[in-house]
Amino acid sequence: MCEVVLPCEYNPKACPSPAAGKSRLFTILLLYCWQREYDKRPYRQFQFKRLMFEERIGRKYHCIRDFRVIVNYLLRRPQLAIKISSLIVSNWDAGLLKDFVCSLIPVWYIELNLMRFPHEFFVMLRLNAAKMNVSQLSLEGTPLTDDDVRILREFLLVSKTLRRLNVSSCSLTQFNFALIADGVYKSSGVRRLSANRLLGMSLSLDTEKIASVLSSLLMQNTLWALSLEHCELTAQDMIPIAEHLARTNSKFRRLRIACNKIGPDGAFFLLRGMSIGGNLELLDMSYCSIGTHGGEWVAKYLTSCRRLQILHLNYNDMGPEAVNLILLSMKKQCKLERLTLYGNHFDSRSAMIVRRLLDADVVLHSELDISYTYDEALQDYRVVPWR
């Protein structure tokens, strides 16, 4: 049986028993036919999802036999991108695990989401790090132990091609996140880091420690994008980020901190830093409870953020007066390509402002997630969502 957290339900040495109902034989030829359905020539964008497999094949996924078919296919047909989700990888067959890592060597984009890997996989990944061509590595939803994180840090130090790392929802804690940050800091190539949903283990999440780690990480001035959603960050934790945003030579371009507790003070720190540095291009502050006061700070500094192109402010409990100020700032010299405001509070004046902006082509429909309509019951215009 598989020596992993969730063992598979089959005996790897047993012959497959005939499944009830319709069931097809899983072969390399069938995998090739499936790839032709979602990919285009030269068919080098591989995808495999366990739920879709079980639905189409008519039986449950086998963690040894079926995985061998996938690995053989990848060895025969080298890919540029691989996206696999929801599989359990066993360490029962070390040769199979080694072949899988070898099949990843020529791949540029690797997404292994919601997987269950044994520790041996990360060890083999580290041993082949110097030979791999990976530019983007996503392990979103894949649980990582402390030993896995330690080996992953060594992988970051050795890899010369990796540019983007996604370890969101990987059971990272406030303790082993420091190892990932250290690997990114000392890495020669990583420019984008996603580490959403950090955990506090048995203690509450110490956001001051995370902020200290971020301060050291940003000090190197090589990180281009950072995502820290659902991390319980507060307004004080925004200070080191804002200080880095205020640097005119900052290379930082994209910041996602949705679903945190930064409040109006956090919005003030970030927007003031952005207005001084003027280099940030994307900011996501959705679900951050910035309120009306925070919305007023956004409206005050928005036109000073010279390079800001995308701003997300959904569900922040902003009152109509703050929303109206933000919309009116669009009439000034503003280079926003996308502004999302749905989930806040609007009034008839908000609808009139949106109407004038859209009718005058000051703002395009593609640049806003709200629109207007005339309500006969109210005998006035009101705001409606625009997706």
Inter-residue contact 337 to 305 (CB < 8 Å)? no
Reported as a single tens digit per residue, the pLDDT across 274-285 is 999 989 999 999
pLDDT digit string, tens, across residues 112-125 = 999 999 999 999 99
| Beta-strand runs (E) in the chain | 45-49, 81-85, 109-113, 136-138, 164-166, 192-194, 225-227, 254-256, 282-284, 310-312, 338-340, 370-375, 380-385
Map out the domains of the chain with their CATH numbers: 34-203 (3.80.10.10), 233-386 (3.80.10.10)
pLDDT at 362 > cutoff 90: no
Give pLDDT, residue 332: 67
Q: Where are the beta strands (DSSP E) in 32-80?
A: 45-49
What percent of the chain clears pLDDT 70, i.e. is strictly above it? 92
CA 81 vs CA 42, 46, 117, 135, 192: distances in Å? 12, 6, 19, 10, 18
The reported pLDDT for the residue numbered 23 is 60
- pLDDT for the residue 2: 47
Q: Estimate the crossing angle of helix 263-277 against helix 238-245, to 10 degrees.
A: 20
Q: What is the mean pLDDT of residues 13-41?
A: 73
pTM for the predicted model, two decimal places: 0.89
Half-sphere exposure for 366 (CA within 13 Å, toward CB): 2
Give dist(CA 116, CA 87) in Å, integer.
7
Q: How confident is the model at residue 263 (pLDDT cuts 50, 70, 90)?
A: very high
Give pLDDT, residue 15. 47
List, in order, residues 6 or more apart from 379 with CB less than 8 Å away.
none
